[in-house]
Amino acid sequence: MGLCITVDIFSGLNNPSWEIRDPDRTRDCVEFFVRHRAALADIGSGFTGLGFRGVQVHFTDDIGCAGLPPAFELAGGGAQDPYISAELADRLLETMPPEPPPEGAYEAVEAGFSHELREMVRGEIQRIVGKTFGDAQSFAAAKAHQDDELAAEVDEQVMTLGRRTAPCPWDSAPFNPEFWNHPAVQPYNNCYNYGVNYRTDTMAKPGRKHDYEIPATVTGQQVAQGLFKDGLRLFGVDCQPPGGNRVILALVTGAFPNGFRDFHFYRYHAEGHWSHKQAANMARRTDNSGVLITNPYLCDRGIYTEWYGLFQSHNTVLIK
């Protein structure tokens, strides 16, 4: 009997994930789960926006499950007892190994599952006990710091897409969540796969196909460097040649309270809205406040408050 634990928190970077194989520790965890079933929730039943979405638990086999579901979520906002759910999630953080597993799940910090990463997740767990997801006050604060000049520039870019007067020819496909939310696709493709409309089943990273690794500082410029290596271009500045899949995507970056950083992408649709996919979660057309996204600069992006512009893909783009 074993447990696979995944902290569902990032979008572009891989989520921290590890296994509990020690029989005694696994048995202790299962006993806690059995005693506090009201703390367990279906995966995706709580908050599903950008930011911390909960701690997922998967049994690695069917031995000793004690009647529990094969997979469930803690501290994600969907449990009947959110306080005990947060406490159990916090207990699981103590099982996080100090070094990453052989294939490593969290690539942004060379030290692996550091104390800082654990404390960052612990802080997010504590935050959700006292606050509502998609907190309106935090969104209002982010809007107060928006650059009016940049907002007007992005708004004009978005309007040219809607009017079909953009400086570069581009392509668009209708919003198709059935493809990206299929069980064979959803868990293995992230916001970058979705942004460039390219399924790889590898949780793709900008530049990885071309031996580029995004530094731990994860700035917009560093992520964009990976995009350029993969063959994307800055939209409106350097038009892609004739071809297919010339989709438009927006790049944003941001930092959690203790400094851990991540990136995220949105993709434009000719219907006049944008959509996105957070890590292994479902593709959607709404922001953190549940509002249809018509302008990715103005929407509620959670911690991803840094705007880095529009880019364009192409059918010659290769990602991994």
Contact 148, 33 (CB under 8 A): no
Residue 142 is predicted with a pLDDT of: 55
pLDDT tens, position by position, 27-78? 999 999 999 999 999 999 999 999 999 999 999 987 767 789 999 999 999 9
Q: Please give the C-alpha separations between residue 97 and each of 11, 17, 291, in angstroms, as whole numbers.
A: 22, 10, 38
* pLDDT at residue 278, as a whole number: 95
Q: Please tell me the predicted confidence (pLDDT) of residue 209.
A: 98
User: Which DSSP helix (H) or strand (E) runs through 162?
Assistant: helix 148-163
pLDDT at 147: 81
CA dist 93 and 97 (Å) reads: 9
Residues 137-146: pLDDT tens digits? 455 555 555 7
In the chain, which residues have pLDDT < 70?
64, 99-112, 130-145
Strands 248-255, 71-74: pairing kind: unpaired
Neighbours of 41 (CB within 10 A): 22
Q: Could you tell me which of 201, 296, 309, 255 has the C-alpha nearest to residue 10?
A: 255
Q: Global pTM?
A: 0.88
The residues with which 248 forms a beta bridge, in sequence order, are: 312
For residue 251, report the phi and psi dihedrals to the nearest 5 degrees. Answer: -105, 130
Amino acid making up residue 217: T
Owner of token pair 């390219």: 198
